[in-house]
Amino acid sequence: MADRDYSAYQQKVIKRYYDNKDQIDEQRLSELVTNLYLAPPKKQAKMWESAEELMTRMKIPVTRIDHVMQAKDPAVLAKVVEELEKGILKRG
C-alpha cells in the first residue's frame, strides 16, 4: 500500500518496527530458547520450525542453522543467541 494510506503516526510506527527488526528477531529467538526448555515435545516441533525461519531471516550462516536443526537441542540454540548478543556470530 502507498504511504498515503497510513496516517503520519502509523507511518512512524511502521518505520520504527522495521528499523528495529534485527533486535526484535534476536529477542524472539531468545524467547524461543526458554520456551523450548519448557514446552512439551508436541509443541517443540513448531517452535523448532520458527527458530529455523528466524535464523534464516537473520542471515545466520547455513552451516550453523543446519547444525542447530540437526541437534535440536535448546542449549545449542542458546549458544547461537549468546554469540549473536556478544557479536561473535556474524550474519551473512
62 belongs to a structural domain: yes
Note the pLDDT of residue 18.
Answer: 94
Burial of 30 (0-12, 13-18, 19+ CB in 10 A): middle
With contact defined as beta carbons under 8 Å apart, do 12 and 4 qualify? Answer: no
Q: Taking the model in full, what pTM does it have?
A: 0.84
Note the pLDDT of residue 2.
Answer: 54
Range of the domain at 34: 7-86
Domains in the chain, number: 1
54 belongs to a structural domain: yes
Note the pLDDT of residue 4.
Answer: 73
Q: How far apart are CA 37 and CA 51, in angstroms?
A: 13
Q: How far apart are CA 32 and CA 54, in angstroms?
A: 10
Q: How far apart are CA 45 and CA 26, in angstroms?
A: 20
91 belongs to a structural domain: no
Instruction: pLDDT tens for the chain, 92 residues: list them.
Output: 455 789 999 999 999 999 999 999 999 999 999 999 999 999 999 999 999 999 999 999 999 999 999 999 999 999 999 999 998 988 87
